[in-house]
C-alpha cells in the first residue's frame, strides 16, 4: 500500500509529465501546494478511524455509502483522491452543498483529513452495492473500455498518482449522478478530458456505462 509521502514524489513527477489537456480543472493559487503538503504527511489509520466517527452518520460505519446515490462508497478509495476531493469541496472548487459545512468547520483539521483518508484506503470492502438494472451491460462495457479504462483502469481501480478515483463497485445511482454532473459542468472540479469524453453521451449511454461500473468487482488500492 502506498503512503501519502510516497505518493507525493510520484504526484510531483506526474505533474511534470502529464499533458496540460489531461490536467484537472485549474485550481486556485496555492491549492497545489496545500495538496502536496498534505500528501507529504503520513496518515495514521487508528486516528483516522476515531475521526471518521463524525462522518458515519452519512457515510455509514463501514464507509459503504448509500445505494440511493446520495453518498458514495469510500472503502478502499485512494487516500490521495479523498484528500484532493475534500480540499476541492472545502475551497468551493467542487460543488457539494451537503458536505461543505462539515469540511469548513474549524474543528475539522487537515491532520484529521489525512488520517481519515489513510483509514478509508485501508478499509476492506463490506456491504452491498446499489447496482444498476443490468439491461445494457454490453454497451456499458464497450463505452468503458473505449473511453474510461485508460484513466480509471481496466478493473476500475483508478490511479492514486493522477487522482483518478476507483470506480469499481460504486453505487449505480451515485455514478449516474456524478457522470451527469461532469457532463453538464455542475460538478465544478471535473477533469477537462473527461468532460469532453462524456459530453456527447446520450442518457442511455450514461446509464449503460454507470451500470457497468457498478457491476465491476471491488478493486484494491
Contact 116, 41 (CB under 8 A): no
3-state SS assignment for residue 44: coil
Helix (H/G/I), strand (E/B), else coil: 95: coil
Nearest-angstrom CA–CA distance, 74 and 89: 16
Q: Which domains does the chain have, with CATH numbers?
A: 4-122 (1.10.760.10), 137-215 (1.10.760.10)
Q: Distance (Å, rounded) from C-alpha 128 to C-alpha 149? A: 24
Q: Write down the mean pLDDT value for the chain.
A: 88
Share of the chain above pLDDT 90, in %: 79
- pLDDT classification of 4: cutoffs 50, 70, 90: low
Q: What is the pLDDT of residue 32?
A: 86
State mean pLDDT over 54-67.
94
What pTM value is reported for the model? 0.85
pLDDT tops 60 at residue 2: no
Percent of the chain with pLDDT over 70: 85
Give the whole-angstrom CA distance, residue 50 versus residue 45: 9
pLDDT tier, 24 (very low <50, low <70, confident <90, very high otherwise): very low
Amino acid at each position: 500500500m502506498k503512503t501519502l509521502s510516497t505518493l507525493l514524489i510520484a504526484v510531483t513527477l506526474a505533474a511534470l509529465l502529464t499533458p496540460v489537456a489531461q490536467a484537472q480543472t485549474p485550481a486556485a493559487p496555492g491549492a497545489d501546494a496545500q495538496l502536496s503538503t498534505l500528501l507529504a504527511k503520513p496518515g495514521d489509520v487508528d486516528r483516522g478511524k476515531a475521526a471518521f466517527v463524525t462522518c458515519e452518520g452519512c457515510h455509514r460505519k463501514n464507509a459503504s455509502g448509500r445505494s440511493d446515490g446520495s453518498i458514495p462508497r469510500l472503502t478502499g478509495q485512494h487516500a490521495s483522491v479523498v484528500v484532493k476531493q475534500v480540499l476541492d469541496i472545502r475551497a468551493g472548487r467542487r460543488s457539494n452543498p451537503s458536505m461543505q459545512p462539515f469540511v469548513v468547520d474549524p474543528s475539522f483539521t487537515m491532520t484529521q483529513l489525512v488520517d481519515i483518508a489513510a483509514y478509508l484506503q485501508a478499509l476492506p470492502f463490506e456491504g452491498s452495492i446499489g447496482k444498476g438494472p443490468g439491461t445494457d451491460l454490453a454497451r456499458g462495457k464497450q463505452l468503458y473500455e473505449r473511453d474510461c479504462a485508460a484513466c480509471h483502469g481496466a478493473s476500475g481501480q483508478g490511479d492514486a498518482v493522477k487522482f483518478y478515483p476507483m470506480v469499481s463497485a460504486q453505487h449505480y445511482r451515485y455514478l449516474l449522478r456524478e457522470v451527469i454532473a461532469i457532463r453538464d459542468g455542475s460538478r465544478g472540479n471535473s477533469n477537462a478530458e473527461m468532460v469532453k469524453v462524456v459530453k456527447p453521451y446520450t442518457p442511455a449511454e450514461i446509464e449503460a456505462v454507470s451500470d457497468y461500473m457498478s457491476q465491476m468487482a471491488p478493486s484494491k488500492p
